Chain A
Amino acid sequence: EIVMTQTPLSLSVTPGQPASISCKSSQSLLHRNGKTYLYWYVQKSGQSPQLLIYEVSNRFSGVPAKISGSGSGTDFTLRISRVEAEDVGLYYCMQSIQFPLTFGGGTKVEIK
């Protein structure tokens, strides 16, 4: 199975400052059809995970522009340009190029 490795495990950020989360996959997530099957979710306290980003860099409906995704192949990054209290939560990357679908271990974002 494809192993998804996220770093750091946790991040404490001053409000208004940027945050960056890395996700590395053990195999390339680029399919021969040109799509890269890498997705980002956030799970806020007491809630279910919510989709943030699909196919590396496309924001899902309602996701603010301060959240962005980038990367290719096996290395990906989620960025929050200015962290606010509403951004606190657990962030997960996920791959769906191959069964079983697998998630990263999660990155906890907190406010300082």
Chain B
Amino acid sequence: QVQLQESGPGLVKPSQTLSLTCTVSGDSINSGYWSWIRQLPGKGLEWIGHIYDSGVSYYNPSLQSRGNISADTSKNQFSLRLTSVTAADTAVYYCARGLGDWLRIEYFDHWGQGTMVSVSS
């Protein structure tokens, strides 16, 4: 079965770069939409962005161009980098597999367990 696992530091200093990796098993990241979603404390869910075809990516404009998602097909992993972080980026970060057709991503059917990242000095 498809499994996703996030990894990365749980604490990042303000103005630095948040880096997370998602390791996928049970499916190849060469197909599908591989996504990052976060859950801000006490709040709802926010789509960060996704990558597909191992190189094409889309991002939420709310990130103000701070996000970058990349893929390493040799390791079946994809990664998120978020630059210039502030306390407002403190959240639980999930990676997820998105399904859809050639036109668009439609929904997320498998999620990682999530990893808490705090931004603090």
Partners in one complex: yes
Which residue of chain A is the closest to B106 with respect to CB atoms? A96
Chain A min CB distance to B58 (Å): 6
Stretch in B18-26, B71-79, B82-90, B110-118 touching the partner: B110-118
Stretch in A19-27, A67-75, A79-87, A97-105 touching the partner: A97-105
Q: Find the residue from A48, A55, A102, A105 having the highest chain B CB count within 10 A.
A: A48
**What's the tally of chain B residues with a CB closer than 8 Å to chain A?**
22
List chain B residues, Cβ under 8 A from A106. Answer: 44-45
Chain B min CB distance to A90 (Å): 8
Q: Does B34 sit at the interface, judged by CB under 8 A?
A: no
A interface, size bucket: 20 to 34
Report whether A60 and B109 are in contact in the complex, using a CB–CB cutoff of 8 Å: yes
Report whether B112 and A48 are in contact in the complex, using a CB–CB cutoff of 8 Å: yes
Q: Does A78 sit at the interface, judged by CB under 8 A?
A: no
Report whether A96 and B104 are in contact in the complex, using a CB–CB cutoff of 8 Å: yes
Chain A min CB distance to B69 (Å): 14
